[in-house]
């Protein structure tokens, strides 16, 4: 868009048409400082026009950007609501503070993070997530192991079940726009603050957050949200493939056309939600589901 506008302004100048409103606005945009650019990006992520935002909202946006860790700011603004910005900001900061007071010891996960290569930039974001999930299962030697609970996840990660349970902290942040937060606790181990839900949803959120820990910026919090950003597509695909590997699922599908009832049965079998099973079937073209 910017290249196009510059070309239009240049053509107008060739015809000696100068100082148009378009040229004035282009000049203003190109003179924007880094701080102003950051404000515009945050405001636009909230769905608000940064050039016509009211002063009260502008103050809330600036206050939020000032207090939130840089690693979660952009993801937060994408899912936050302007009327509830202060409340949602408080919920996120409260979750991070809760994590910092946790003392679970998960040194095997720290070691695993040091050895993992992270995501490849090749291909679509969800394919990157799939690759990391398969590589992690292979590294852990659990290619054919079913992971359907926090306990079986702990076994797969070679950590004590009680320690992992302690590191998964339920928080009351429904409506906050995010599902989980991951950060380093008092023992320098990853800890997961997860919005309270049923066990399959909690397990899925923990795995998404674990991906952010294993592949994200060092010692900075990560945020799991319901947005469709590339980061969330990656962690969502990772969790689906890590918990319900496509090849394991393929072996359990009886025919090329199945019903939604079969999807529910597969969900019970894998200890996952029906939505995760459905996405895996659709995304990997394992079968056609009819309702």
Indicate whether 232 belongs to any domain: yes
Q: At what angle do helices 85-100 and 70-79 cross, to 10 degrees?
A: 140
Query: Does the pLDDT value for residue 116 go beyond 90?
Result: no
Residues 263, 169 share a domain? no
The whole-number pLDDT of residue 174 equals 63
pLDDT tens sequence across 155-212:
999 999 999 999 999 987 666 679 999 999 999 999 999 998 888 999 999 999 999 9
Q: Which of 98, 131, 95 lies closest to 116, judged by CA? A: 131
Asked whether residue 81 carries a pLDDT value surpassing 60, the answer given is yes
What percentage of the chain reaches a pLDDT higher than 70? 97
Mean pLDDT of 100-112: 92
83 and 218 inside one domain: yes
Instruction: Please give the Cα distance from 261 to 188 (Å, whole number).
Output: 44
Between residues 157 and 254, the one the model is more confident about:
157
Task: Please give the share of the chain, as a percent, with pLDDT higher than 90.
Answer: 84
Domain count, the chain: 3
Domain that holds residue 185: 76-240
Same domain for 97 and 228 = yes
Q: Does one domain contain both 155 and 29?
A: no
Is residue 12 in a domain? no
The answer on 220 and 118 residing in a single domain is yes
Q: What is this structure's pTM?
A: 0.87
Q: In degrees, to the nearest 5, what angle opens at C-alpha 274 toward C-alphas 279 and 179?
A: 80
Please write the tens of the pLDDT for every residue from 60-75: 999 999 999 999 999 9
Instruction: List Cα–Cα distances, 200 to 33, 86, 154, 222, 280, in angstroms.
Output: 45, 30, 15, 21, 15
Same domain, 143 and 279: no
pLDDT of residue 123: 81
Q: What is the mean pLDDT of residues 28-33?
A: 90
Examine the domain organization and report whether 130 and 173 are in the same domain: yes
Does 275 have pLDDT greater than 60? Answer: yes
Question: Average pLDDT over the chain, rounded to whole?
Answer: 92
Would you state the pLDDT for residue 173?
Answer: 64
Same domain, 99 and 184: yes
Banded pLDDT at 57 (limits 50, 70, 90): very high
Q: Is residue 2 part of a domain?
A: no
| 31 part of a folded domain | yes
């Amino acid at each position: 868009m910017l290249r196009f506008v510059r070309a239009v302004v240049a053509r107008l100048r060739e015809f000696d048409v100068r100082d148009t409103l378009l040229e004035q606005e282009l000049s203003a945009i190109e003179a924007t400082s880094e701080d102003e650019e950051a404000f515009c990006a945050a405001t636009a992520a909230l769905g608000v026009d940064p050039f016509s935002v009211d002063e009260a909202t502008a103050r809330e946006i600036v206050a939020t950007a000032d207090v939130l860790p840089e690693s979660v700011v952009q993801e937060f603004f994408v899912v936050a609501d302007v009327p509830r910005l202060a409340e949602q900001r408080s919920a996120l900061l409260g979750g991070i503070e809760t994590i910092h007071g946790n003392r679970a010891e998960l040194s095997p996960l720290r070691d695993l993070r040091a050895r993992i290569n992270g995501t490849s930039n090749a291909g679509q974001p969800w394919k990157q997530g799939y690759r990391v999930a398969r590589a992690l299962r292979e590294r852990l030697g659990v290619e054919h192991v079913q992971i359907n609970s926090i306990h079986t996840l702990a076994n797969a990660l070679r950590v004590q079940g009680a320690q992992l349970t302690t590191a998964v902290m339920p928080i009351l942040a429904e409506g906050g726009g995010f599902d989980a937060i991951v950060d380093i606790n008092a023992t320098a181990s990853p800890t997961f603050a997860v919005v309270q839900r049923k066990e399959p949803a909690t397990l899925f959120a923990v795995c998404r957050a674990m991906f952010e820990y294993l592949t994200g910026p060092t010692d900075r919090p990560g945020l799991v949200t319901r947005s469709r950003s590339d980061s969330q597509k990656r962690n969502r695909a990772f969790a689906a493939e890590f918990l319900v590997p496509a090849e394991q699922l393929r072996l359990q599908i009886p025919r090329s056309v199945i019903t939604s009832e079969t999807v529910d049965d597969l969900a019970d079998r894998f200890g996952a939600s029906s939505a995760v099973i459905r996405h895996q079937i659709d995304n990997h073209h394992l079968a056609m589901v009819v309702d």
